Structure 1
Amino acid sequence: MMSVFLYVVTLIISFISIGYVFFEKFRFDLEAPIENWVNTANYFNGIFTPPLLAVTSIFILLTWRTSKKELNSTKDLLNRQILELEFKNEFDIFSGRIKNLSYEINKAPEHQFKKFIYMNLLTHKGPSYYSPLFRVSIPEIEKKVSNKEKEELILNYINDSVFDLGNSISMYIKLGGPKLELKAILSNLDNIDTIFKVIVGYIFIESKKGSLWFKTFRKQLILISKKKLKNQQKHMFEELIFNIDSDLVLDIVEFLALTELTEEQKELFKELILE
């Protein structure tokens, strides 16, 4: 831009110099014949036209460059707005799925689910084995002699209990499931609350609903990992741990990392968890 300014200043000085020299030599005479005026006009036309055309060309070039730059800026802005709108729409869908996942593990277990808890509990050991463990929770169980009476008390206790499904899934994963069989895990436990949590986590993970839940959860993790912008990955992951307990998310990520996540994805989620 500075070079153009110098070029224009040089032209102006040149025009003034040429005009000064011309009129200094031939003088300015208003009474001169028309032929002199025509010759003078032709002279200045021949002198000034080429540089003026050059200046005009330069200004046209500068105008074109400015227009091109503004067009590119407008195009970039439009592209960013499109990408932001696309991400917003995608994030709304993502958020809806995460809220559904959260709802599934936070709602009260169905009666059938509690029946599975009871069946798995008694399949591992009989009611006589669990009676001492229920001493605090069900004091009257020690007064019962028959297994049937003890089973009824245990079933009623399970039906009246409130289970934290998310915490149960975490407990099951931390104690080795599903790498270890349920019996192998339960054989080392003597706390009835922990036993319940492990069984609840096991039943959910092994059920069709639980399998679908984990499949959907994994898809959302993969969706996060495919985002190229770091701020989008962070925004989506924050939405995930806002709706689902962060400890549970960490346990599930570590669980999926064993078989279903790539090394790159493991590193990504490790960074997001630590932030």
Structure 2
Amino acid sequence: MSKPAETDASATNHDDFRLSITQALGDQLAAALDKLTPAPLTEANLNRLGDRAGVYQLYRNGEFVYVGKADKSLPTRILKHLRKVSGRQGISLAEMTFTCLYVAEDFSALAPEKLLIKHYKEQGQIRWNNNGFGNNDPGKRRDETVVKANHFDALFRIDLERVISGFKPGTMALSKVLARVSAEAPYTFRYEKKKTGAAYKREVEIPDHELTIAQMLGLIARSLPTEWQIAVLPGRVIMYPDNRRDYPSVWRYYRGEQILDVEPEIGEVGEIPEEPDAVEDDD
């Protein structure tokens, strides 16, 4: 049996051919996206999209900051980003534009967003793909984690001064108030749902005027038993009967009648991993 020929590195008349199908796909996807003209990130523009799978790009003030995919519905997925940006300080939806490209549903098995991420990272783009922007709520286990300075949540804290709608003046059960705030807030409001005792049977008096989320959190806190508190982290709000423990990156506490603004602990710039139970851009 003959031995395979060894390539002579100094030879000029022969060489090995290496075909990278995935790189070719990534380059073609990027080329197709680059031909598109970004549109303002508005609900009206998202409503014009077909309810199909695809890949998309987000821009801020003309800078290409994020690439992602939607396995089922582009408008549904991009709307999540719209809501996220709308509830942050230091950034405006008026700064945001997007493009998207429909792809066949079975194409998602090739992980097109990973091909695009590799392509654009090599060009020094898509900074939000490295800063936690696409991650969902990581759950209680991360509440005591120090948020890094380059994390999206540290750069753009949640906005508590946003007016919350859907409340009518009068008395409302605390359980219903919590569910409504959780549904209306453009960021995670996570609260205890098991060991609640009689706490959620209490009633909240809703005043006859518009309320911000901050004001609503104050009403809720005043209705809670002593051992409960509401803690505002850079990217989410949590509420538990935790005997008013301190969390490193919290910047505001609601404890009964008290509203305490504190200096959060922010970590050094560093790598931000994708949350294992919150796969980036997975519908």
- TM-score after normalising by structure 2: 0.25
Over alpha carbons, which structure has the higher Rg? 1
